Amino acid sequence: MSHTYKFPRPSLTVDLVVFGSSNGGDPDHALLIRRGKDPFKNHWAIPGGYFDMADESVEAAAARELREETGLDVPIERVKQVGVFSRPDRDPRGRVVSTAHYTVVSDMPSVKGQDDAKEARWFPISQLKSLPLAFDHKEILAESVLALLSRITRSVP
């Protein structure tokens, strides 16, 4: 017997902000992809995509999407949750809730746009505010930068 629910279920996506360093010090860059498909075709965005309900955690989904879109592989245990983004109009495809994460990598590894990402590129954090971004990714980036700053200040003696 299968279960059906009277309540609609939204789609679940994951986003992963990746921070890197251009000088071996504190992270000063973030990785973005240029979307190859609508919605927001050709816009810059955070790597991410749909969660696979069958067999993965949201952290594993975020790491998988990053690998598929940029070729960059990060350990799941280094993927830290930033928050849940659920504004009803955040995605023109329908009701989509995203679990956003961040991670920090050493230096800025080589990346290449793959799968549904046309391009992948590192941007100085100082330039992120002026970039037009897809979805609500400006808000996710802002929260991720705050989480990163909190992490950095906790490690300062």
- 35 Cβ contact partners less than 8 Å away, ≥ 6 residues apart: 41, 42, 43, 44, 45, 116, 117, 118, 134
DSSP tag of 8: -
Catalytic residue at 69? no
Catalytic residue among 56, 59, 68, 119: 119
DSSP tag of 38: S
- 154 Cβ contact partners less than 8 Å away, ≥ 6 residues apart: none
Q: List active site positions.
A: 119
